[in-house]
Amino acid sequence: MSSSAPPSSATVSTSGHDEPRLRWWMAANYLNLDAPLVAIVWLALFAACRDVFVPFEAYKVLALAVWCVYTLDHLFDTKRKPSVEAMTGRHRFHRLWRIPLTGALAVAMVVGSNLALTQLPGQLVTGGLLVAGVVVLYLIHARAIAATNGAVLPKELLCGAIFAIGVSLPATVYAGTFTNIGAAGLLAPIIAMVQILKEPDVLFFAALCALNCIAIAVWEWQPDRVNDRAAITRFFPDIREILPRFIIILFGGALAFPLTSILFDQNYPEYYSVFFSCIAASAGLIGIIHWQRHRFKPDVLRVLADVALLTPIAAIPFIPRSIWSLLKIVFGFGW
């Protein structure tokens, strides 16, 4: 998940106790609020483009779940890095505020679990538990990579796939396409992931999330060699040279896919072109940031990487049914 980088003078100042100074524009990043925000806006876009109403409770549970995963991962990272100097400003922040963050993590897990069990349908809870199990396997895998110096699958690809599955899960369940998973036994997690990832919008979003993670690893390449033993740049150093090709492929694919689908599929969803336009726009923004990366410090690049994924904010207002869904969420009628 997070890669480590030397603290920049723009974002972190150190005292005798190496205490990070939190800048307002870094607050969301330090407090792990960036990933939940990205998750919420993309779930809203999934729901709008699929013409599915997702109640507000699902957004709350998703935001809490994503925040818990990222906070837990960063707290684990601070225990793996014995040297304070080897940490990013965010990891220093997590080490300094470890006890309050651990308490907040416990509260968030209790609140999220209660909301899920009392206000969400059983299928969504089952799917969420399956995704949670995959997240645990991911965390184990990421640490095994660092410990064994071997990578079966880059963690950035796994992170992108898991994040996309988790974000799209509520829209998939409320659309009625997430079925017969409970009867799959031990194969349920694999079947669930394949069933969700086979949808083109989820697959492209997973590719975008993976691209975002890979870009951050490339931008922090020198620090990764020392601190993040699980980063893709350590096992596939050529990724630094071929990243622009991946950006171009995703950008072009996101633009071309809806055009070809409209020609050959009469049942093509009406607003999928909006969804794939957001994918292309985010990929393009990542490309621009990559092109201008030498002008920014590592912490600034992380903030820009988050901003690049917020394109649905600009797109959702142009989908009439999404406005109707927002009204139903706010006023609680029509559902």
Q: Per residue in 210-221, pLDDT tens?
A: 999 999 988 887
Concatenating the DSSP letter of every residue in 110-127 gives: HHHHHHHHHHS-HHHHHH
Position 43 pLDDT exceeds 80: yes
Task: Mention every residue, 6+ apart, whose C-beta is less than 8 A from residue 325.
Answer: 44, 47, 48, 53, 54
* pLDDT at position 86: 59
CA distance 304 to 296: 10
Split at pLDDT 50, 70, 90, the class of 84 is low
Q: In whole angstroms, what is the distance from residue 306 CA to residue 208 CA?
A: 12
- Taking only the tens place, the pLDDT of each residue in 223-247 is 544 446 667 877 787 888 899 999 9
For 135-150, write each residue's pLDDT tens digit.
Answer: 888 888 777 766 666 5
**What average pLDDT does the chain have?**
80
H or E element at residue 153: none
* Per-residue model confidence as pLDDT tens digits over 110-142: 999 999 999 999 889 988 988 888 888 888 877
**Averaged over 54-68, what is the pLDDT?**
94
Res. 20: pLDDT tops 60: no
Q: What is the pLDDT of residue 247?
A: 97
Contact 70, 35 (CB under 8 A): yes
CA distances from 201 to 41, 186, 214, 286, 290 (A): 14, 27, 20, 19, 24
Handedness of CA 72, 74, 79, 80 (dihedral sign): positive
Q: What is the DSSP letter of 118?
A: H
Q: Among 25-39, 40-54, 175-189, where is mean pLDDT lowest?
A: 175-189
Report residue 77 as tokens.
């990272």
| Selected residue with higher pLDDT from 15 and 32 | 32
pLDDT for 232: 80
Query: How much of the chain, in percent, has pLDDT values that exceed 90?
Result: 40
How many Cβ atoms sit within 10 Å of the Cβ of residue 159? 21
Burial of 263 (0-12, 13-18, 19+ CB in 10 A): exposed
Given this model, what pLDDT does residue 78 score? 78
| Mean pLDDT score, 168-187 | 74
pLDDT interval class at 171 (50, 70, 90): very high
Structure tokens at 58: 């699902």
The whole-number average pLDDT for the span 316-332 is 61
- Mean pLDDT of the 84-95 span: 73
Distance CA 8, CA 29 (A): 14
Per-residue pLDDT at 153:
73
Cα 247 from Cα 97, distance rounded (Å): 37
**Cβ count within 10 A of residue 88:** 30
Amino acid identity of residue 166, one-letter, is: G
| List of residues 6+ apart from 154 with CB closer than 8 A | 214, 232, 235, 236
Report d(CA 299, CA 5) in Å as an integer. 8
Output 183 or 10, whichever has higher pLDDT.
183
Report phi then psi at 13, rounded to 5.
Answer: -120, 145
